[in-house]
Amino acid sequence: MNVDYYLPADAAPASAGEMAHRAADLGYDGFFTAETAHDPFLPLALASAADDGLTLGTAIAVAFPRSPMVVAQTSWDLAAMSGGRFVLGLGTQVKPHVVRRFSTPWTTASSRLRDYVDALRAIWRSFQTGEPLRFESEEYRFSLLTPFFDPGPIDHPEVPVAIAGVGPHLARLAGERCEGFHVHPFHTVRYLDEVVLPNIAAGAAGHGRSLDDVELISTVFVVTGRDDDEMARSRRAARAQIAFYASTPTYRVVLDAHGWDFGPTLTGLSRRGAWRELADALPDEVVDEVAVVAEPDRVGEAIRKRYGSQVGRMGYYTLDGGPHLTDAQLSAMIAATK
């Protein structure tokens, strides 16, 4: 299992180079960014210059507000700058954000993302080979690429694509088309076994591929502490975030895998802004199913025991509320997780 560092949402993009160096020194294998308050691609340009051998990736960039041509060019440059260490992670987001935050039309997510990935591959093929760009699908049409706008071939043209999803349709698409699948941090092993893995396998089998062709990439909630007080604070922080995700109808598939029926109750509380009540309404068993709960020196072992070889790349979703680990303690945790 590779262990990855995720750039915090409140981190300044300009700090990415320094933070990539630190991540490598601590023993992390990868450096990932998310599309939250900052652009996810810009920090990776700085991280690639750090040249620490880290795998670099977006986890995730929102696809639909960007033309596939724009993403293809940016990804091509990052693949070249990093010596082939870049993994393009794409997500669909949900309709309100796509329509109201990005002012972009919404269409069926899975079919549109399939066309998007196919368009990227067609554009990259033209970049690498010089063949005319001819791509047409229901969603996208590309037929113009003159030499002035063609970046030309690079040493590592096979850019891995990993898509994010929660339900079965995008898991199947990952099996059909992609090298990776980003599993949302709000997940359980039963959900992986009953929803994610079977659908990736089904999608792969229908296209001459196998489950081994798709790497699972995820993060896990960590509840830890050096004493009872720290453990309690860590658990409260994780509980609040897990309850927020559990209240979101988009993630109901995780609850359904366990037969948990409290989703509508949590949704009602969240719509009223009753955040304290929301966390209190989450059953204890859910925290234990979603989060890894262990003392700092046992976190790595607990993660490996839970996931085995199912997840190829793992990050720590949050250590908020837990102990302030020294670099030595964090390095030991990373080493034990691998």
Report yes or no on 249 lying in a domain.
no
Report yes or no on 307 lying in a domain.
yes
Total tally of structural domains belonging to the chain: 1
Task: Show pLDDT as tens, one digit a residue, over the chain (338 residues).
Answer: 999 999 999 999 999 999 999 999 999 999 999 999 999 999 999 999 987 899 999 999 999 999 999 999 999 999 999 999 999 999 999 889 999 999 999 998 999 999 999 999 999 999 999 999 999 999 999 999 999 999 999 999 999 999 999 999 999 999 999 999 999 999 999 999 999 999 999 999 999 999 999 999 999 999 999 899 999 999 999 999 999 999 999 899 999 999 999 999 999 999 999 988 999 999 999 999 999 999 999 999 999 999 999 999 999 997 655 677 889 999 999 999 99
Q: Rounded to the nearest 10 degrees, what angle do helices 228-246 and 263-271 cross at? A: 90
User: Residue 49's domain is classified under what CATH number?
Assistant: 3.20.20.30
Report yes or no on 274 lying in a domain.
no
d(CA 201, CA 40): 29
Report yes or no on 182 lying in a domain.
yes
Report yes or no on 138 lying in a domain.
yes
Report yes or no on 195 lying in a domain.
yes
Name the pairing type of β-strands 215-223 and 313-318.
parallel
The two tokens of residue 60 are 């995730």
**Residue 78: helix, strand or coil by DSSP?**
helix
Report yes or no on 263 lying in a domain.
no
Domain enclosing residue 319, as ranges: 2-227+295-337
d(CA 65, CA 29): 30
pTM beyond cutoff 0.85: yes
Report yes or no on 257 lying in a domain.
no
